[in-house]
Amino acid sequence: MKLMFVAGEASGDGHAAAVIAALRRQAPAVEVFGAGGPRMAAAGMELVLDLTEHAVVGLVEVLKNYSKFRRFLHELVAVAEQRQPAAVVLVDFPGFNLRLASALRARGLRVIYYISPQLWAWHAGRARQIERDVELMLTIFPFEKEWYARHAPRLAVEFVGHPLLDRVEVPESATVRDERLVLLLPGSREAEVRRIFPVMARVVDELPGYEFVAVAASASLAPLIRHSRVRVATGNAVEWMRRATLALTASGTATMECAVCGCPMIVIYRVNWLTYWVGRAVVQVNWLAMPNVLAGREVVPEFIQHRARPRMIAETARGLLTNPARREQMQGELANVVAGLGGKGAAERAAALILDRVR
């Protein structure tokens, strides 16, 4: 049996790698190839294209790279047509993967999607396109199955649980934290770090007397993080999330990692202004941080775009750093969010459902 995977960002590379490893445990003879990154390759996938090297964020950046991604799409369609996998598993990365799904379906190839695009937040109308192009949707948030039942009733949808719970241990008891340690998480892409870390650096200037550690998602991003009071670490941020009293984080996977680790947080995000205004016109939820979306209210403070002002952020940070009761309240609310994500085993369940579908 042959399966093709396509993931386009660092987070998708990790999530797909876990499913590929589970597939190889459940069906050792399965042959996996496709596009992704180094973790998928390490899990046993034949890497025909490293898409993670080309990840961009924002409308302007996508437009600048349009011809390149169009070429990648045609290359991957050609690979799929030539090798004829039992199914193509698309992982997140909706701007690219939804177009790829349409192209694959038009050529009679079966498509499974893992980690649903957040259509409920920005483009409910695309649910019908997914219903047409995708055979099986595997979701990681429990409310998504019911959402698709209303917006795409003919689409097969299964909730498999959140993959973070396999990778990050939920603390069984209160974690001892360094009351002077503040963690900075400026994002996993170069454009994010360039826009968000300067804001964080000015917040550092407003908060004397604290220790700051910034985690660079990769070694290539570390040189972009420079401040005399900030120690730069590279790689796994989870250990720092368990130690820090507060995290200042870009929106994205890191917010859910902080939630699982019970680390109080403030979310900061800036994008190109054109991207922001287009986003405002289409986004249908009130919050950007996933813990807030899941809770249905603002559990963690958000400072987005023009509100990402260092003094405002520093004032909120100071209030949390000096008030243990407020931090404990936030930790309790984050624990409630995490409790609704299902148990461990998301990758194993996803792999089993994929195999059941194609056998």
pLDDT digits (tens, 9 = 90+) for 312-342: 999 999 999 999 999 999 999 999 999 999 8
Question: Does any domain span residue 68?
Answer: yes
pLDDT digits (tens, 9 = 90+) for 242-259: 999 999 999 988 999 999
Same domain, residue pair 197 and 145: no
Q: How many folded domains does the chain comprise?
A: 2
Same domain, residue pair 152 and 184: no
Give the 3-state secondary structure of residue 311.
Answer: helix
Domain residues for the domain of 116 are 2-161+342-358
Which of 26-30, 303-307, 346-350 is predicted with the least confidence, judged by mean pLDDT? 303-307
Start-end of H helices in 117-180: 119-122, 127-133, 143-151, 164-167
Residues 40 and 86: their CA atoms lie apart, in Å, by 19
Same domain, residue pair 335 and 353: no
Same domain, residue pair 141 and 217: no
Same domain, residue pair 120 and 196: no
Same domain, residue pair 110 and 250: no
Question: Does any domain span residue 60?
Answer: yes
Same domain, residue pair 154 and 198: no
Same domain, residue pair 13 and 153: yes
pLDDT at 59 over 70: no
DSSP one-letter string for 210-230: -EEEEEESSTTTGGG---TTE
Same domain, residue pair 9 and 145: yes
Question: Does any domain span residue 39?
Answer: yes
Same domain, residue pair 111 and 16: yes
Same domain, residue pair 68 and 199: no
Question: Does any domain span residue 172?
Answer: no
* CATH code of the domain in which 65 resides: 3.40.50.2000
Question: Does any domain span residue 199?
Answer: yes
Residues 333 and 261: their CA atoms lie apart, in Å, by 13
pTM, full prediction:
0.82
pLDDT digits (tens, 9 = 90+) for 95-151: 899 999 999 999 999 999 999 998 887 777 889 999 999 999 999 998 999 999 999
Same domain, residue pair 76 and 148: yes
Question: Does any domain span residue 323?
Answer: yes
